[in-house]
C-alpha cells in the first residue's frame, strides 16, 4: 500500500534534517541516544526549485490556479506575521502527475441526523504526493468531515474516496487499521494518554502496529529529539505545556514515517509563538516528502505560508487555489 503514496520524482537531500535540527537546537539530544539508519531517509527533502510567481486574484470558481495563470496579477502587500518565515516561495515544486495521494470523486456525505443538509455535497478534488494543503472555511463547512473521510473514520454516502490507490468506500472494516498505518494524524486536543509518559505515548503508536521492541527503542528517542523533547521523555502530559503536548502529538504521528499527515486544527488552542514552532515542524516534514492536509481557522498562518488552499462552504468546494490565502469567512 505504501508504494501508492511515494513520489519517485522527488530528489532527496539532507537539507530538511539539518533545518529540523536547527528548529529544535534548544533541546539538546540525549547523550548516547540511538540514531536509526532510516531517519535520514525519512527526512530527505526534495530540492526541486520553483520560480516565484505573483499571487493570483482569488477566483470563486472551483479550479486550481496555476503560476502561469497568475502572470500579470497585482502583487499583494507584504504581511507582518510570525509565520512570514514559512512562506512557500522556496518550497520544492510538486508534480501533479501520476496517482494522487488522495482523490475525491463526486463525494457526498450525509449524517443521519441531518438528512436534508449534506456535510459534503458532490466534492471532487485530487491531492498529490508532496503537497501541503490547507482546508479552510466556516465552522460547519465540512472541513473535519473531509479529513475523517480520508482516515476512514467515516464512510462516504456516495462517490469515491481513494487513498493509497484504494477505494475507502468499498474497503472492509478489517482492512482499515492497515490503511491507518500509512496516515499520521494530529488533533487540536492532542489526544495523549494521560497515564503514560511522553516516551510511552509515542511508543504506543508503534506497539499498536506490532513493531519489535528494538525498533521502538531506536525510533522513539530519535523522533522526540527531532521535535525538541529529548529531555521530556519521562514526563507525563499534565507536566507539559500546551505546545509541548502538541509536539508529542506530532512526534506520535510521524514516528512511523507516514507518507500522509492529516492535521485537524493542530494549532487551534496555542498562542502564535508556539504555533510557529509547530508549523515549522509540519513544514519541514512536508519538505521531506510527506503529504500534509491541514484544516485550520488561522487566517494569518494561511495568508503568510501561501500553500494550496481548498475552501469549503456548506459542504461544497468553492475555491481551490495553488498559492492561496484564507479568504473572507468572518470572525471564527
Contacts of 112 (CB under 8 A, 6+ apart): none
Residue 120 or 22, more confident: 120
State whether residue 321 is helix, strand or coil.
Answer: strand
- Which pLDDT tens digit goes with each residue over 292-323? 999 999 999 999 999 999 999 999 999 999 99
Q: Give residue-wise pLDDT tens across range 205-261.
A: 999 888 999 999 999 999 999 899 999 999 999 999 999 999 999 999 999 889 999
What integer is the mean pLDDT of 113-138?
96
Higher pLDDT, 325 or 10: 325
- Give the span between the Cα atoms of 237 and 197, in whole angstroms: 7
What was the pLDDT predicted at 4?
A: 53
Contact 126, 98 (CB under 8 A): no
User: Higher confidence at residue 64 or residue 264?
Assistant: 264
pLDDT at 268: 86
Q: CA angle at residue 148 from 158 to 181, to 5 degrees?
A: 115
Residue 41: left (phi > 0), alpha (psi -120 to 50), or beta? alpha
User: Residue 77: pLDDT above 50?
Assistant: no
Q: Can you give the pLDDT at residue 242?
A: 92
pLDDT digits (tens, 9 = 90+) for 51-61: 333 443 444 44
pLDDT band at 107 (very low <50, low <70, confident <90, very high): very high
Tell me what pLDDT residue 203 has. Answer: 96
Beta bridge partners of 224: none
How does residue 5 score in pLDDT terms, banded at 50, 70 and 90? low
314: exposed, middle or buried (Cβ count in 10 Å: 0-12, 13-18, 19+)? middle
Burial class (CB in 10 A: 0-12, 13-18, 19+), 149: buried
pTM of the predicted structure, to 2 decimals: 0.75
Task: State mean pLDDT over 190-199.
Answer: 95
pLDDT-derived band at 41 (thresholds 50, 70, 90) equals very low
CATH top-level class for 2-54+62-193+258-321?
A: alpha beta
Confidence of residue 96 (pLDDT cuts 50, 70, 90): confident
- Residue 289, C-alpha cell as written in the block: 516528502
**Residue holding cell 472551483?**
62
Amino acid at each position: 500500500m505504501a508504494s501508492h503514496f511515494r513520489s519517485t520524482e522527488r530528489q532527496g537531500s539532507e537539507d530538511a534534517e539539518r533545518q529540523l535540527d536547527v528548529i529544535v537546537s534548544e533541546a539538546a539530544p540525549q547523550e548516547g541516544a540511538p540514531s536509526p539508519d532510516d531517519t535520514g531517509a525519512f527526512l530527505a527533502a526534495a530540492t526541486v526549485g520553483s520560480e516565484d510567481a505573483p499571487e493570483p486574484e482569488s477566483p470563486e470558481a472551483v479550479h486550481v490556479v496555476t503560476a502561469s495563470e497568475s502572470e500579470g496579477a497585482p502583487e499583494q502587500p507584504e504581511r507582518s506575521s510570525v509565520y512570514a518565515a514559512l512562506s512557500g516561495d522556496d518550497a520544492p515544486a510538486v508534480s501533479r502527475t501520476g496517482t494522487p495521494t488522495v482523490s475525491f470523486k463526486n463525494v457526498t456525505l450525509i449524517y443521519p441526523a441531518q438528512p436534508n443538509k449534506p456535510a459534503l455535497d458532490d466534492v471532487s478534488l485530487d491531492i498529490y504526493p508532496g503537497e501541503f494543503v490547507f482546508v479552510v472555511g466556516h465552522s460547519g463547512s465540512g472541513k473535519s468531515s473531509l479529513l475523517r473521510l480520508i482516515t476512514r473514520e467515516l464512510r462516504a454516502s456516495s462517490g469515491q474516496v481513494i487513498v493509497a490507490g484504494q477505494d475507502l468506500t468499498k474497503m472492509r472494516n478489517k482492512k482499515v487499521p492497515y490503511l491507518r498505518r500509512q496516515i499520521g494524524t494530529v488533533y487540536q486536543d492532542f489526544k495523549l494518554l494521560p497515564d503514560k509518559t511522553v516516551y510511552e505515548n509515542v511508543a504506543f503508536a508503534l506497539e499498536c502496529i506490532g513493531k519489535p521492541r528494538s525498533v521502538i527503542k531506536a525510533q522513539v528517542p530519535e523522533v522526540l529529539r527531532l521535535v525538541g523533547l529529548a529531555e521530556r521523555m519521562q514526563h507525563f502530559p499534565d507536566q507539559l505545556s500546551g505546545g509541548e503536548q502538541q509536539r508529542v502529538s506530532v512526534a506520535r504521528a510521524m514516528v512511523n514515517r507516514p507518507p500522509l499527515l492529516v492535521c485537524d486544527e493542530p494549532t487551534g488552542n496555542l498562542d502564535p509563538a508556539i504555533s510557529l514552532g509547530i508549523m515549522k515542524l509540519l513544514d519541514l516534514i512536508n519538505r521531506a516528502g510527506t503529504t500534509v492536509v491541514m484544516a485550520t481557522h488561522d487566517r494569518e498562518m494561511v495568508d503568510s505560508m501561501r500553500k494550496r488552499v481548498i475552501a469549503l462552504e456548506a459542504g461544497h468546494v468553492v475555491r481551490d487555489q495553488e498559492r492561496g490565502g484564507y479568504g473572507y469567512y468572518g470572525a471564527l
